[in-house]
Chain A
Amino acid sequence: MSLVSVRNLTRIFDVSKPWLNRVIERRPRALLTAVSDVSFEIEERTVYALVGESGSGKSTIGKMLVGLLAPSDGVVDIRGVDLSRETDAEKVDAVRADIQMIFQDPFASLNPRWRVRDIIVEPVAARGGETAGLAERLLEQVGLSARDAGKFPHEFSGGQRQRICIARALASEPKLIVCDEPTSALDVSVQAQVLNLMSDLKDEFGLTYLFISHDLTVVQHMADRIGVLYLGRLVEEAAPSELFENPKHPYTQMLLAAAPKLDGFGREVAPPTGEIPDPINPPPGCAYNPRCPLAQAVCREERPVLRNVGGARVACHMVD
């Protein structure tokens, strides 16, 4: 059985103006569908990557997985426990200890008033666990020095801080780590170091990653399975080799064509046309139909469901 099972996950945000403004300006309630009917499974000890443009709902899915946001509809099942609906506090706590999160901004994700030692052991200390020597051991495991434990976060560079974040995530010996764009705030050379560290730790501790990113090259090397999100909907899911060799959904094809390539100087590529639609008023049918070169009448009327096509799952009417 897979470690994480996400079924028909939906999250709707109420972004309406205050009641009085709505009455005076005669506006309806505005509901933003950030994540719409997303289903996927993550096997144990694999890396599942979610890619998509800004605003495609990647981070919202990550937050729902760790229980920071409650789903509006659908189920997030982690080892058989649904965090948002489970009422047994002990079970919820046990699952929470098994999930950790690494955030995008290493400058905002460490409490500036705490010493690194206290930051790292916090997930264990909050549950009353034994913390002697833990911070020092973890710091060495992520490639920092044990004596850094007594310093404050502002004494470190961005890459070092992200290592501290990783050490914190490892402290409670989790099974699943949700990485919300862990390298996008770092420069390229440091990105490689942090990614290598993350894959080493994965093998060492038997971790499972949900890797959220917009960087296709990063994802290509890290992931075992990639899900492509568009406007909160999963449009394609495949193994990296399959996805990069033979993208099936027209949106994935556009993404890959738009990605910069080293040998691509002077190549003629049509720039992507159109904008990501307004998630408050998504287009009827397939969300991609206004930009899609293959769009037919059926795409504007009927929302495609994810179908198995070869080794991949694709949500498109035009693919067989």
Chain B
Amino acid sequence: MTDTAPIDPYAALQDKEPPKAPRSQWKDVWDQFKHHKGALFGGGFLIFITLAVLVGPWVWQVDPQKLDIRNKDLRPIYTAIWDSTAAVRWGNPLGTDNLGRDILANLIAGGRASMAVGWAAMVLALLIGTAVGVVSGYFKKADFWLMRFTDLVLSLPILPLLLVAVTLFRQPLRANFGPEGGMFILIVGVIGLTSWMQTARIVRGDILALKEREFILAARSIGTTSGSIILRHLLPNVISPIMVSATLGLATAIITESALSFLGVGFPSDFPTWGKLLADSVQRMEQYPERVILPGLLISLTVLGVNYLGDGLRDALDPRIRGR
């Protein structure tokens, strides 16, 4: 005999546990993020570029510094489609420069330098900017002097400052860290130290508004220390502006590094970066447009990808926007 369970009227009115397991916060973030087409494209492209510059040298095993004077000034392979007389060679799919160096290998090597400088300078600027912004927003006493200092740095003309810094510190850093390492530290340092001000101002403004909110008062009333209020309550709430300035910062850092290389005060002459590849090819831009277009395109696409990624992350990290 089978007994059918009688329906308990009281239990029927009780709340049931949700059928699905509670979702983790990061799954929510991912769900929102994947609805943002631009962010998916941007993130995908950034991962692709990063992998390409990291793994590329093992896949395309051509020394970017190797001179091959007999095969100089080759055009990219696709030029043959419309110009049957163009000098092309399968061994150099994107052509070679005026000294016969392979352009594909140079783009990969240059991407490494540009991305490394961009990320490092962005992280440095972000750390300084967030620290200054949080301290001056939260601690009233520090606010005046920190913000005047920010205004001071903001009013300095950046490019001349960079040139002076490079001239002053190039030799000692070179002596200590080698020509490339020293230059890397110098460029990351000057870009980081001169681009944190926007982040600081944005973060300060948000902190000023947030710290008067009642949930901060509630945290203070149970005796939470300033440090943990900042870490647990304030920073998660200013993550959106920080994300946005991070992406802008990465883009600016890559562009500033390119500008420095373009002006000839960047890395040593045998060390390729996207900016330097661009600068070296400008004189013969009319005959060989691809040598300007290719690095320029990489810079633009990377910056664009990073900006879209930041946009999508900002939306995904905000629980109030999520689910729209």
Which residues of A are interface residues toward B (Cβ below 8 A)? 63, 66-68, 92-93, 96-97, 99-101, 103-105, 108-115, 119, 122-123, 126, 145-147, 150, 152, 154, 168, 172
Contacts and interface: CB of A to CB of B under 8 A. Distances in A.
A244 B222 CA distance: 36
- Interface size band for B: 20 to 34
Given A113-B237, A122-B222, A147 B214 contact: no
Contacts of B9: none
B3 interface: no
Interface stretch (B17-25, B79-87, B298-306): B17-25
Interface in B189-246: 213-215, 217-224, 228, 233, 236-237
B140 interface: no
Contacts of B17: 147
Contact of B319 (A100, A145, A152): A152
A97 B222 CA distance: 7
Nearest to B25: A115
A126 B320 CA distance: 25
The listed residue with most A CB atoms (<10 A of its CB), out of B215, B224, B237, is B215
B221 A67 contact: yes
The listed residue with most A CB atoms (<10 A of its CB), out of B23, B223, B237, B319, is B223
A9 B142 CA distance: 30
B222 A100 contact: yes
B26 to A, nearest CB: 13
Nearest to B144: A18
Contacts of B18: 147, 150
Contact of A112 (B25, B220, B320): B320
A108 B222 contact: no
22 contacts: A66-B221, A68-B220, A92-B223, A96-B223, A100-B221, A101-B221, A103-B218, A105-B214, A109-B213, A109-B215, A112-B319, A113-B237, A113-B319, A114-B236, A122-B222, A123-B222, A126-B224, A147-B17, A150-B18, A152-B320, A154-B319, A154-B320
Interface string B72-110: 000000000000000000000000000000000000000
A168 B223 contact: no
A115 B319 CA distance: 10
A260 to B, nearest CB: 28
Nearest to A109: B214
Nearest to A83: B223
A128 to B, nearest CB: 12
Given A100-B222, A108-B214, 9 more contacts: A67-B221, A96-B221, A101-B217, A103-B217, A105-B214, A109-B214, A111-B233, A150-B18, A152-B320
B8 interface: no
Contacts of A97: 222
Contacts of A108: 213-215
B15 interface: yes
Nearest to A113: B236
A99 B217 CA distance: 13
